[in-house]
Every structure is written in structure tokens, then in C-alpha cells.
Structure 1
Amino acid sequence: MYKQMFVYAAGKPLLVTLRNYTKADIEGMIAIQKESFPPPFPPELWWNEAQLREHAQRFPEGALCAEVDGQLIGSMTALLVGHEAVSSTHSWEQITDSGYIRNHNPEGDTLYVVDLCVIPAYRQYGIGKWLMLTMYEVVVHLHLTRLLGGGRMPGYKRYADQLTAQEYLERIISGELKDPVLSFLLRCGRMPVGVAEHYLEDEDSCDYAALMEWRNPFIGQQTI
């Protein structure tokens, strides 16, 4: 996959290239992680070389990056899973093989999001949304049923003593509350299908995530 587009911030255009990342991009991919998640974020949670090699070799169609003037500024990674893998409660570590995606199922009908990241200096350009929309194109191109993934709910910590995670999600959907991640996913066209407990160690989300999908409009529908 390779495409270019102009994106805008403060009325100024910026030429961005979206493409598949390869083993040659490992250094740049790790640099994205370092810039996006500086200390005190644990460095051991950044992508490592072994994980990135697996992404590029095992499922290159699900390894996307954004590039400006030769610099990688964002990325999105996914793998294929079967319906049975997500029909019951699962965690991020289980469904992504701790980010190594060695459990990638070439016969799977669901494109599962592993990670989405854009460095701070370019977040105002909407590049995260373009990466998401490009993953929708992958769903259509591969004739998959849907895209699915767990969305963090970092605003939930402030309301955890008042609302259940499901109630918090419903307040986001109704517009009563806003959440930096869930509201973004809704603007990208993702639809909520449930809440996962103990999904990812995440203090702000109280370890919850909202499972949110985008269904291929050209293929018959299913639910989780």
C-alpha cells in the first residue's frame, strides 16, 4: 500500500505519505515510540526490534506508517484473527500475542488493531484518523468482515466511583461526556460493541477498554 495526501493544520498543507513499514523502518518506528511515550513511560513497553520484524514479515498489509519528508511520524499495526478469538473476553496481550502477532491467522475474518500512534508534533493534522481510514481500506481490499480493537478510556478514572465502565461508554456515546480516545474513535466511524475488563494495565482507564468495530459495508454483517 502506498498513497500520498495533503493534510492541514492552521490552514497550512502538509504532504504525508502513508505506506507499509518494513524491516528497514525499524529504527524510525522505535523513534516514534520514544517521542510519543517519553519517561516515565517504561521503555520496555515500546515496540522492540523483534516485534517489528514479526509485523513486517508476518502480516505486512497490517503494518502501516505515516511519513513526512523522509521522517516516520506515525504508525498503525493490526493482525488477522478469527471470530472465535474475540467471541469471549480477551485481553490485549492475549489477542496480540503481547504485540508479537505470532498468533496472526491468515484465514481470520477480523482485522484487529494492535496499536495506533502519532508523534505529538503532528497530532493536530488528523493523521491518526487517516491511518484508521486506511486500515478500513485494508478491510475492504482483503474482503474481511470488519475491523475491531479495544479503545482505551483514559477519562474513566475520574468517574469510576460514579459510573460503571459501560455507563461511562454510554455517556460518551450520548455526548454527555467526552473522552480523548473514545470520542476520536467515534469520529473515525468506529461503533461500540462492548466493554472488556482487565484488557490492558492502564491506570487512567481502570484497566478497561471499549471494544469498537468498523464493519465492511460490502460484506454481510456479524456481531462479536
Structure 2
Amino acid sequence: MSERFVVVQSSTEMAVRLAEIQRACFPDLSEEELMRPEHYLSHQKVFPEGQHAVLDTETNEVVASSSDLRLNVDFDHIQHRYMDAVDNNYLTNHDPAGEWLYGADIAVHPDYRGHGLSTLLYDARHRLIRKLGLKGHVAGAMPKGYHLHPELSIEEYVQKVMAGDLRDPVLSVQLKRGYQVHGIIHDYLEDPTCGNYGVFICWLNPERQP
């Protein structure tokens, strides 16, 4: 796997392919919230270091990507809309002095799942955090399995996922990577599989902790 797939900084000629990957990954996300080529071009302009892509060296095709920006975070006030956090997907609210990396997007094309590509991207994000000396990584995780359990409140669902009683296709993976749940974000985005909720998660840079 490590020989076939490599992480690179995304570039302008990848923008159309990156948008195709996101659309394939998030068919239930509202049209307004999907990233388009012009959004990826903006990401590469405002914070190129925070934009990663995975290349399949056998085909030279982009098969996965992640987008991040730097922000300062108030953990006492986590309620926000996704589109506000990412400035309508353009990331032009990126703060070069921000002490946290905010995960705007991570997407692995459905045809390439099961190859550990999300692990490559998370490792790249964590390396960037260490390189820049940031406090850590935060994101609004999408609880994509919540719609399968209408009998549960979102709080009950997340507690069961945290306890290992239920497996969520997104949140469970992030918890295994050392992320912690900080709270529930209401009306985070428009996706019925998530009930429009987000789960505010945090990974702490061990090099910044006392």
C-alpha cells in the first residue's frame, strides 16, 4: 500500500478531480455544501500546505483528498454551521496565526476504500500540525450511521459509538485515531444520514501538551 499510494500537496490541475471525488463520497450532502473546482482552487491559494491529495502511482490518478485551514477555537462555544466555519467552502477565513487545524473535508473515492488512504491523510494532517507547532486538529465529524437508529437521540447514539456498542462509518474511525468527542453540533450541515448533526472532535498535538 505504501508503495502504490502517496500523499502530495494538491495542485490546481487536480481541482476538477477533487470535486468529482467529493461528490462520489457524499451523495446525500446538499448541493450548496458540496465543494466545486473553484473551491479547491481557493484552498490552494489561501493555505496550500493544508491541502493534501493521495495519488495512485499505478494510474497517476488522484483518489483521495483532505482540506484544512487554521483557526482559533473557543471550546466553550462550539455551535456553528459548517458553511460558516469554511467560509462557504472557500476557506478564505483561514487565519495564518490560528492555533488549531480545522478539518474542512476528507474524502476517499468509493472505489478505493479499504486501502488505508484515510490513514495516510490523517497522518499527513498530524505531521503538518507538528511541523507548524499547532495545538491540534478539530473537526465536525459526520455521524453517517445515525439515520439507522431513529430510536436514539443523537447524544445516546454518540455515547454508544464511543462505548463501542455501535459502529459509525465515520466517527468510529476517528475515535480509533485518537480523536475525542467534545460535544454535539446542532444544524451543522444538511445531510439526512446525519440528522444534520455534527460531532465536534479534537485531536491534541502531544508535543504541545504539558
| TM-score using structure 1 length | 0.85
In the alignment, structure 2 segments of 5+ residues that lack a partner are none
Residues of 2 paired with 1:197 and 1:22: CA distance? 34
In the alignment, structure 1 segments of 5+ residues that lack a partner are 1-5, 8-13
* Corresponding letter in the other structure for 1:73: V
Residues of 1 paired with 2:49 and 2:76: CA distance? 21
Distance apart, 1:22 and its partner CA: 1.4
Of residues 182, 188, 205, the one that matches 1:216 is 205
Structure-to-structure mapping, 1:54-69, within 5 angstroms: 54-69=42-57
- 1:51 equivalent in alignment to 2:39: yes
The answer to whether the 8 Å contact 2:29/2:190 transfers is no
Of residues 144, 147, 169, the one that matches 2:134 is 144
- 1:205 equivalent in alignment to 2:194: yes
CA separation of 1:177 and 1:207: change in aligned 2, threshold 3 A: same
The answer to whether the 8 Å contact 1:91/1:198 transfers is yes
Percent sequence identity over matched residues? Answer: 26
Of residues 103, 125, 146, the one that matches 1:156 is 146
CA separation of 1:33 and 1:97: change in aligned 2, threshold 3 A: same
CA separation of 1:189 and 1:220: change in aligned 2, threshold 3 A: closer
Higher strand proportion (structure 1 or 2):
1
Residues of 1 paired with 2:76 and 2:42: CA distance? 21
Of residues 163, 168, 185, the one that matches 1:196 is 185
Distance apart, 1:187 and its partner CA: 1.8
* Corresponding letter in the other structure for 1:31: E
Residues of 2 paired with 1:93 and 1:64: CA distance? 20
Distance apart, 1:47 and its partner CA: 2.3
The answer to whether the 8 Å contact 1:133/1:188 transfers is no
* Corresponding letter in the other structure for 1:103: N
Q: Number of matched residues?
A: 208
CA separation of 1:59 and 1:74: change in aligned 2, threshold 3 A: same
* Corresponding letter in the other structure for 1:145: K
Of residues 154, 160, 163, the one that matches 1:165 is 154
The answer to whether the 8 Å contact 1:55/1:77 transfers is yes
Distance apart, 1:175 and its partner CA: 1.0
Structure-to-structure mapping, 1:1-224, within 5 angstroms: 6-7=1-2, 15-37=4-26, 45-69=33-57, 70-84=60-74, 87-160=77-150, 162-220=151-209
The answer to whether the 8 Å contact 2:33/2:89 transfers is no
Q: Corresponding residue for 1:3?
A: none
CA separation of 1:115 and 1:170: change in aligned 2, threshold 3 A: same
| TM-score using structure 2 length | 0.90
The answer to whether the 8 Å contact 1:93/1:99 transfers is yes
Bigger RCO (CA 8 Å, 6+ sep): 2
Residues of 2 paired with 1:88 and 1:27: CA distance? 32
